[in-house]
Structure 1
Amino acid sequence: MECHVSIPKITATLLGAGNPLPATAKPLLIVGAGLGTGVRALWGAAVPYLEGFEVVGVDLPGHGASPAATEAFSVAELASGVRDIAAQLCDGADRKVYYAGVSLAGGVALQLALDQGTGHEGVFSAVAAICSSAQFGEPQGWLDRAETVRVQGTPTQVVGSAQRWFAPGFMEAYPDRAAALLHSLQDADRFSYAFACRALADFDVRDRLGAIEAPLLAIAGELDPICPPAVAETIGSGVRNGRSAVVPGAAHQAPLEAPEETAALLRGFFA
């Protein structure tokens, strides 16, 4: 029986070109945003600290700049979409390419690393999984959330996400940043969000971490209730060329909560 593959349409957005060198002379850093978040709102504060890279953001289907999904997709298929974007941006040029994703997009980072050596050798020089995991909770919880959002919409998730996403005091200290991210959740396409929940329900690469050979950095927010530092430590120690790091004072959206510290970790690892 033929296996159906559905590579979702995702849109790339130039977030920053670093120093004045031509973009093709710089290493390319593709950054991804997680479920319910837009890449520009999540990564915008970190981009000024990612000097030396051409920084391109990719939104999940139905989030930010990406069109809504019309059928279900998997994390592996999201990774294929990111690889396609990398190939288009490089257009045959010999340049280093890196990827850093948050939460679900961090699962994409793990998938990209697993795919290296299976017909995709050398596409990414290194990847980073931020506030992420090799498996996200119980599948039924994601299936239940998918149905809730499919029927009632993404605004049902705003209050709970605000409680889980940010460290105590962040919303009061940076109301504009927090509001922009929560607005991207409210504006996300409900059907695409539901498809992403189903992708999370099916995602589990815990027993495959040892097969990853690509350099991988797992970053955790110190106060993340969803993917705590122990999860990043497990990923970092389970990957042959893996490392882990913790961003002090951050919860589940490290590039937004601690942009300078998160960018410094990425620059140091990718260098």
Structure 2
Amino acid sequence: MIALAFTEPIGPEDAPLLVLGPSLGTSTILWEGVVPALATSHRVVAWDLPGHGASAPASDAFSVDGLADAVAEAARALGADRIRYAGVSLGGAVGLSLLLRHPSLVERAAILCSGAAIGQPDDWHARAAQVRAQSTSSLIVGSAQRWFAPGSIARHPELTGRLLHVLQDADDESYARCCEALAAFDVRARLGEISVPVLAAWGEWDAVTPEASAREIADGVRDGRTSRIVNASHLAPVDAPAAVVAELSDFLDERGR
């Protein structure tokens, strides 16, 4: 089983458990701008990918399904038999895998800036090779351009800078293995198996997982809806935290459905 580091729960002990998943190259700080608001009505935890943030480096290859199983095990260890989930990019892919592999655990999921398949396998393998040869430092400029909406770095200089440092400090081999997991991830043919409510949201400026990726998810599951997050790119919780809080709060509130 993959060992993933989780934050300490924040919020009322008797509130629903909300699990937050990261984008590749980031850590739990991705969610810092939204956790305080979400924790008023949820018990909130976030987790780090292998070799990122507080999680130990990966010693073996792993899959998106393996990450989903590790998240499910950790959630159950926190005493939850039902959870709510929100994840960005790779964290969103893990959310879809959770819905397929642990359907009785997840009661609803928000899949942000993600897809049922993300990018092209050859591109992920090429990025894995680049990181093994040149380290994650070689990705800083390109990631900053993909991750953040125009003006976002100027608006959030401290948080965006910290996230780029997380990328630089990530374990190279673990990052490469995450790329290989994404290369193999494709659940488009299985979306119809997902029956719980799913929100698929995209960032207005996101070129990695644009509107079409979100609509494919929402149209494929049995109970899906989409949302456009204005002034956001691939890391919507950083670019537009208030908008993300509003979307998640509305969606995660059972009375709103």
TM-score w.r.t. the length of structure 2 is 0.95
- CA distance in 1 between partners of 2:187 and 2:69 (Å): 16
Q: State the match for 1:114 in structure 2.
A: 100
**Equivalent residue runs for 1:1-271 within 5 Å:** 7-14=1-8, 16-17=10-11, 21=12, 23=13, 25-39=14-28, 41-50=29-38, 51-90=40-79, 96-115=82-101, 120-271=102-253
List structure 1 runs of 4+ shifted beyond 2 angstroms: none
Gapped regions of structure 1 (runs ≥ 5): 1-6
Deviation at 1:14, TM superposition (A): 2.3
Q: CA-atom RMSD, angstroms?
A: 1.2
- CA distance in 2 between partners of 1:227 and 1:48 (Å): 27
- CA distance in 1 between partners of 2:7 and 2:23 (Å): 15
The one-letter code sitting in structure 1 at the alignment partner of 2:19 is I
- CA distance in 1 between partners of 2:183 and 2:247 (Å): 29
- CA distance in 2 between partners of 1:248 and 1:71 (Å): 39
For the 8 Å contact 1:49–1:260, the answer to whether it is kept is no
Deviation at 1:163, TM superposition (A): 0.5
- Would the alpha carbon gap of residues 156 and 247 (structure 1) be closer, same or farther in structure 2, given more than 3 Å must change? same
- CA distance in 1 between partners of 2:113 and 2:103 (Å): 26
- CA distance in 1 between partners of 2:119 and 2:216 (Å): 15
Deviation at 1:267, TM superposition (A): 1.5
The one-letter code sitting in structure 2 at the alignment partner of 1:105 is G
For the 8 Å contact 1:15–1:44, the answer to whether it is kept is no
List per-residue Cα deviations over 1:179-221 (Å, max 9, x = no partner): 0111110111101000000000000111111111122111111
Q: Secondary structure at the match of 1:125?
A: strand
The one-letter code sitting in structure 2 at the alignment partner of 1:126 is R
- CA distance in 2 between partners of 1:206 and 1:238 (Å): 8
- CA distance in 2 between partners of 1:155 and 1:181 (Å): 13
Q: How much identity, in percent, do the aligned residues show?
A: 47
- Would the alpha carbon gap of residues 74 and 251 (structure 1) be closer, same or farther in structure 2, given more than 3 Å must change? same
List per-residue Cα deviations over 1:112-161 (Å, max 9, x = no partner): 1112xxxx342111111110011111101111110111122110111100
For the 8 Å contact 1:49–1:259, the answer to whether it is kept is no
Deviation at 1:15, TM superposition (A): 5.9
List per-residue Cα deviations over 1:18-74 (Å, max 9, x = no partner): xxx4x1x111101010110011x2000111221211110110000011110001000
TM-score w.r.t. the length of structure 1 is 0.90
- CA distance in 1 between partners of 2:140 and 2:188 (Å): 29
Deviation at 1:253, TM superposition (A): 0.4
- CA distance in 1 between partners of 2:83 and 2:153 (Å): 33
